[in-house]
Structure 1
Amino acid sequence: MVAMSLRFAIVIAAPPLAGVALGYLSGGRISGLRTIPVRALWLVWLAAAAQFAQYYVPGLHRAAMLAVVFGVVLIWLAVNLPRWPVAARIAGVLIVLGASLNGVAIALNGRMPYDARAAAGAGTPKNVPANERTRAAILGDTIPLVPLHALISPGDILIGGGACAFVVIAMRRSERRSHDRDPVLAPHHAGALHPGHAGPVAVHRRGTVRAGRLNP
């Protein structure tokens, strides 16, 4: 159980960590994560708690808990997505799509199906093996991660890709904002920065006043 939990944590933590590495390699900064507003973070923790209870608390109806998890996540996205830049929204949609694919596989079969042959190659059978009665088996855990002795699903790939992209996008936004704050002096504004030299607005006003004096 401890080994399985460790592998699960690695699979979950790897995409955002990869995003941090790619963000730095592309010139971004970790401070960029603060440029994308995130509200109602407690809803994410609530969804995580419901997901944990679904597997580790006996007597709970898994379909009902799955509905709770998706409902909470959708509420959180409805609160946050409109405030995010377009690229971050796309990354968020990828995460939602991946979670939805996983949810469909679980809802249709009661548990997440896995490919027994892939599990043998990865060395870690889990959940319920797929058979001829399994519905949407392709959405289950069919992709082996042999070095980690784990299986992931197509939905997990979308979730991981979206999480990685979100981190990179946020870190790159920090770099763009720093460039936007750099002072850029246009030639026609340079005169306003030198003492004793009138800027274009002042020159225009004096010209208007002189023209008014010459025209009775």
Structure 2
Amino acid sequence: MAETKARTPRGPNAERRAATRAKILSAGVKCLAEFGYAATSTPLVARMAKVSRGSLLHQFPTKIELMLAVAEHAWIVQRDFIRAQVAANPPGRDQFIGGVQAVWKGLQLSEAIAVMEIMIAARTDAELRERFKAFLGQTESSMHRTRRRMAEGLLGAPDHVAEVDAIAHLTLSALRGLALETVFIGRPTAEADKVLALLENIRRRMADEISVEQQPRVRNL
């Protein structure tokens, strides 16, 4: 997905539309996180956003259009949060290992819960499924570029892009499943620390192995 840039409003009408859109998307996230996908409807989101249903439908004619817009908005919020968390660590190996905690914290956000609600709903809604798959493809392309930069910049290991890609995918999949257990089902989080420690250890070993490979080899005299 291309980096999203803030659009420059043109005139008071554009500013009002942008403000209305922002309120609707924020309300959509809140509605999904609090009530779930099945209970989320355009009238409910409009009430929570404190806008008329006509204003909502003008920008998002159907629930699916609204949900896809909410998913994109929520993903950007989550992505930027995770990037900030990663950047708080020293560059290089620490940022690579710290990505585990960053992703886990990002999955606690209301925005992450909203995206997972939409993802689960896509299983039984054919139209939503096809369009959400396209959305996931765009986000995966963006994440792949980020992982490539991590492999090339943070770890200094451009030959290990595939491995970094795989470990990042493993991290997200494992922690998303853990979030489903703890956030959606309400199981105790006592086991979460063990999973996080295991994923961190996997990344630590990978970083150490790459570091050894990157060291200049001493030639035998």
TM-score (norm 2): 0.25
Larger radius of gyration: 1
Q: 1 or 2, which has the higher helix percentage?
A: 2
Q: Which has the higher contact order (CA 8 A, sep 6+)?
A: 1
TM-score (norm 1): 0.26
Q: 1 or 2, which has the higher strand percentage?
A: 1
